[in-house]
Structure 1
Amino acid sequence: MGLRIHFVVDPQGWLCMGLIIFVWLFNLITIPNVILFPRYEEEHISVGAIFCFYILAFLCIISLLRASIADPGRLPENPKIPITERDFWELCNKCNMMRPKRSHHCSRCGHCVRKMDHHCPWINNCVGEDNHWLFLQLCFYTELLSSYVLLLDFCHCYYFEPLNKVNLDLFVFRHELALTRISTFMGLIMLVGITGLFYTQLIGIFNDTTSIEKMANCCEEISRPRKPWQQTFSEVFGTRWKILWFIPFRQRRPLRVPYHFANHV
């Protein structure tokens, strides 16, 4: 099953996503020029530290792009409903279309999304059944990159020996302290925000409850059959192999589960 493209025209979402890309570009330019390359030249770090940074930065931006353009599970205009599943569909009172239960109408995107968790302006897309796993990958790699940037900033300021060869005519060295503090501030904001978001997402999957259902304070999680957490995670990531959940560049294979069990409320 290939990755279906979904593009949302939303200036506010473009602005939020642009801020994320700006933070990514700032660290991609600042960290190598202020810390990695000078420290490598003076043999304070190995080339592996440089490769690790670029690999994490690459995985982070790829995860962001994939999550932002992936179809979250948009319902077609005329869905074909099998006779055996009609009892588990309902009419949307906003777009007057039939949809599976646990779907939600996104007012910003203007359509219904299967098992929608929330609309995220930072990726300019909904988070639903088909791209939830990509959103979790984005949170995972962003946490790793932010933690690594904070570690480099800390070691640069308090652990490594002072640099011997510094060209003070270069902008990055004339403003080294300011650039490092900005990088640290951005890293802390990203790490704290993503950690809280990642935690709430994981708890929601454990309980098989979307963010919209929790905000609505509904009773679906009580009347719906409870599933083992391994099954709920496997349904989100499309594989029962835990080692593959956060592997990049793979395609999600929806697990074949009984429809009434997966969507009954």
Structure 2
Amino acid sequence: MGQRIHFVVDPQGWCCMGLIIFVWLYNTIFIPKVILFPHYEEGNISVVAVLCYYFCSLFCIASLFRASVADPGKLPENPDIPITEREHWELCNKCNMMRPKRSHHCSRCGHCVRRMDHHCPWINNCVGEDNHWLFLQLCFYTQILSSYTLILDFCHYYYFLPLKKENWDVFVFRHELALLRISAFMGLIILGGISRLFYTQLMGIFTDTTSIEKMSNCCEDISRPQKPWQQTFSEVFGTHWKILWFIPFRQRQPLRVPYYFASHD
């Protein structure tokens, strides 16, 4: 089952996503150039440390682009509603379309999204049933990459042996301190914000509650776990194989669960 491409025309979202790409590109270029490669050449770190950084960087940008262009669960104009599930559908008062319960209308995108969690300007897309797993991967790998970058910034000055030869790039050598301070500042800001968001997302999955439902307090009974956490995570990631929860280079196969997930009247 191929994943449909979903593109949101929103200048504000483009700016936010462009800022994230800039931070990623900055660290992907300068951290290896200032820290990884010079210390690897002098034997202070192993090739494993270099490869791990690039793997984290690759998984981070892959999950970002996939979460940005993936269809979050946009409902078709004329949905085919099974007779046995009609009682679990309702009429949207904004677009006058039938939608399964726990769907919400995104005013920025202009359509309803199945099990919508929120609209995220940082990926310029809604976070819904079909791309929630990619958004979680993005949060996870962003934390890993930011933490790794901060550790390297710290070790460069306080743990690694001083470099014996000057960096061949004159610009990098002269502005090394400024470049690493900028990297550390951006790493702290992103790590702090993403860690809080990731924690909120995990708690939402554990309790089978979306961010919109938490803010609206529309369903008191969903504040309590109704399913084992393995089941809720498997439904989000589309597989029971836990190792695949960390792989962004795959297609999500929705598990056989009803559209509405649970009835909340």
- CA–CA separation in structure 2 for the residues paired with 1:31 and 1:259: 45
Aligned partner of 1:132 in structure 2 is: 132
Q: CA deviation at 1:38?
A: 1.0
Aligned partner of 1:37 in structure 2 is: 37
Q: CA deviation at 1:263?
A: 3.4
C-alpha contact 2:116 2:129 (8 A) present in aligned 1: yes
Specify the SS of the correspondent of 1:226: coil
User: Residue 60 in 1 paired to residue 48 in 2?
Assistant: no
C-alpha contact 2:207 2:223 (8 A) present in aligned 1: no
Aligned partner of 2:2 in structure 1 is: 2
- Aligned CA distance change for structure 1 residues 169 and 240 (closer, same or farther; 3 Å): closer
Coordinate RMSD, CA, aligned: 1.6
Matches within 5 A, 1:76-225: 76-167=76-167, 170-222=170-222
In the superposition, the TM-score normalised over structure 1's length comes to 0.95
- CA–CA separation in structure 2 for the residues paired with 1:196 and 1:148: 18
- CA–CA separation in structure 1 for the residues paired with 2:203 and 2:236: 13
Give the AA of the match of 1:252: R
Specify the SS of the correspondent of 1:99: strand
Give the AA of the match of 1:151: I
- CA–CA separation in structure 2 for the residues paired with 1:233 and 1:104: 21
C-alpha contact 2:38 2:167 (8 A) present in aligned 1: no
Q: CA deviation at 1:189?
A: 1.1
- Aligned CA distance change for structure 1 residues 169 and 125 (closer, same or farther; 3 Å): closer
- CA–CA separation in structure 2 for the residues paired with 1:206 and 1:42: 46
C-alpha contact 1:63 1:134 (8 A) present in aligned 2: yes
Aligned partner of 2:51 in structure 1 is: 51
Give the AA of the match of 1:64: L
Q: CA deviation at 1:23?
A: 0.1
Moved over 6 A (4+): none
Aligned residues with identical type, % of pairs: 80
User: Residue 238 in 1 paired to residue 238 in 2?
Assistant: yes
Aligned residue pairs total 264
Specify the SS of the correspondent of 1:263: coil
| Structure 1: tracts of 5 or more residues without a match | none
